[in-house]
Amino acid sequence: MDIKTATALRRLRLVSAPEAISFLLLLVCSVLKRTVGFDAVFPMGLTHGVLFILYVIFWADAWNRTKWPLKTAALYFVLSVLPAGGFFAERKLRREAEDAVIASRARKEGIVNA
């Protein structure tokens, strides 16, 4: 894995958890607005919108660089629209990055010809 691909995956991983947190907070703010009159939906919606747009941009970049199959790319996109999906995406991306590092070290040491 080259450095640009690793960077694209890292950016996607780093934005996925904050995007999930902002989505959950937006849901909480929506409930609070309707129950107790606490109105923080606009700033939370704005924050979540920016993070979601960043997630989609980073997702498209990672898909372009990694050449994921359509099924994998669709999975990461669906995880972005689920309330806690960003946490699962972050975990899966971290594992993928760790596996790539292990494979790279194995190739470097001549253990594997992959």
Output the pLDDT for position 50.
Answer: 96
CA distance 17 to 67: 23
Contact (CB, 8 A) for 85 and 79: yes
At 6-28, the pLDDT tens digits run 888 899 999 999 999 999 999 99
Q: How confident is the model at residue 3 (pLDDT cuts 50, 70, 90)?
A: confident
Residue 47 burial (C-beta neighbours within 10 Å; 0-12, 13-18, 19+): middle
Rounded CA gap, 86 and 78, in Å?
9
* Interatomic CA distance for residues 83 and 95, integer angstroms: 21
pLDDT band at 114 (very low <50, low <70, confident <90, very high): low
pLDDT of 70: 94
